[in-house]
């Protein structure tokens, strides 16, 4: 009975973690370039536990909750805004923030007072030669990321790729490295000026997931209540 309570409690913790992620996905369904997150429970059942049993060690290793980012290409919509950029293919825009380097697929950029291309929060879009500045009468960006001002190439958008298991979401639709050992690979993703990549979140899928999670949570609540009542009766009977 006590084990049943522990099992249901652990399950509810996992379901709560999953519910938080589903809620965050739904909140960002209209966020350009947003990549949905998921969560799974990694139970150490084979090699790790067998090794512990053979060594007569206690307790056995527990499982752990792992979140991941689903890096599928989102649909692309035309906006006509020359500062809206989308990527087709693997890779992320390189962004310089006050806290260090970050990456995003959100291509909704703007210009600051000095003519630098920045995110809506004022973080610099990086190029091969530093922050990208477009002072001039007209500018354009080619499919390979070349930034042209008055028909002269002044910089090239830095697009980088990496293993998504090595980064975390930090808010403002940005990704940041978990440590200083992130392996960066130059990406050959194509840039489309005047377009934005839509979030890859499916409202229907997330809503179905949320309903299923709610029902599972209720089932575990009921199981805990049932086990608690049975335990209470057992203790009272033994006391008599």
Is there a single domain that holds both residue 110 and residue 168? yes
Is there a single domain that holds both residue 31 and residue 85? no
pTM above 0.85, yes or no: no
Residue 51, CB-side half-sphere exposure with 13 Å CA sphere: 5
Is there a single domain that holds both residue 80 and residue 191? yes
3-state SS assignment for residue 111: strand
Is there a single domain that holds both residue 183 and residue 209? no
**What is the radius of gyration, based on Cα positions, of the chain?**
25
Is there a single domain that holds both residue 118 and residue 141? yes
Q: Which of 197, 213, 228 is the last residue of a domain?
A: 197
Is there a single domain that holds both residue 106 and residue 123? yes
Strand locations in the chain (E): 37-42, 64-69, 76-78, 85-88, 92-97, 100-104, 110-111, 117-118, 124-127, 130-131, 139-141, 146-149, 152-156, 159-161, 167-171, 174-177, 185-186, 190-193, 195-197
Its domain, for residue 95, covers 76-197
Strand partners, 102: 95
Whole-number pLDDT of residue 171 = 84
3-state SS assignment for residue 239: helix
Is there a single domain that holds both residue 121 and residue 24? no
Q: Which of 197, 214, 229 is the last residue of a domain?
A: 197
Is there a single domain that holds both residue 117 and residue 178? yes
Count of the separate structural domains present in the chain: 2
Is there a single domain that holds both residue 34 and residue 65? yes
Residuewise pLDDT in 10s, the chain (240 residues):
566 565 666 677 778 888 999 999 999 999 999 999 888 766 544 444 445 545 555 554 456 667 788 889 999 999 999 999 999 999 999 999 999 999 999 999 999 999 999 999 999 999 999 999 999 889 999 999 999 999 999 999 999 999 998 998 888 899 999 988 899 998 989 999 999 999 999 999 999 999 998 888 788 777 777 766 666 766 666 655
Is there a single domain that holds both residue 213 and residue 109? no
Is there a single domain that holds both residue 162 and residue 101? yes
Whole-number pLDDT of residue 179 = 86
Task: Report how far residue 141's alpha carbon sits from residue 154's, in angstroms, rounded to the nearest whole number.
Answer: 10
Is there a single domain that holds both residue 56 and residue 82? no
């Amino acid at each position: 009975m006590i084990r049943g309570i522990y099992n249901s409690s652990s399950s509810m913790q996992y379901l709560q973690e999953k519910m938080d992620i589903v809620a965050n996905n739904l909140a960002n369904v209209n966020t350009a370039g947003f990549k949905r997150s998921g969560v799974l429970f990694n139970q150490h059942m084979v090699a790790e536990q067998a090794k512990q049993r053979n060594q007569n060690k206690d307790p056995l290793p527990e499982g752990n909750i792992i979140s991941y980012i689903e890096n599928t290409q989102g649909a692309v919509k035309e906006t006509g805004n020359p500062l809206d950029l989308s990527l087709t293919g693997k890779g992320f825009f390189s962004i310089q923030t006050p806290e260090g380097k970050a990456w995003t697929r959100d291509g909704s950029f703007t210009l600051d007072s000095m003519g630098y291309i920045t995110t809506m929060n004022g973080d610099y879009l990086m190029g091969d030669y530093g922050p990208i500045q477009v002072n001039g009468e007209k500018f354009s960006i080619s499919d390979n990321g070349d930034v042209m001002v008055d028909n002269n190439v002044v910089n090239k958008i830095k697009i980088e790729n990496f293993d998504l298991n090595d980064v975390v979401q930090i808010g403002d639709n940005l990704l940041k490295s978990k440590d200083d050992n992130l392996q960066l690979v130059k990406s050959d993703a194509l840039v489309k000026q005047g377009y934005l990549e839509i979030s890859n979140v499916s409202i229907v899928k997330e809503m179905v997931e949320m309903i299923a999670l709610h029902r599972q949570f209720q089932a575990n609540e009921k199981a805990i209540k049932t086990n608690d009542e049975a335990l209470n009766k057992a203790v009272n009977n033994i006391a008599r």
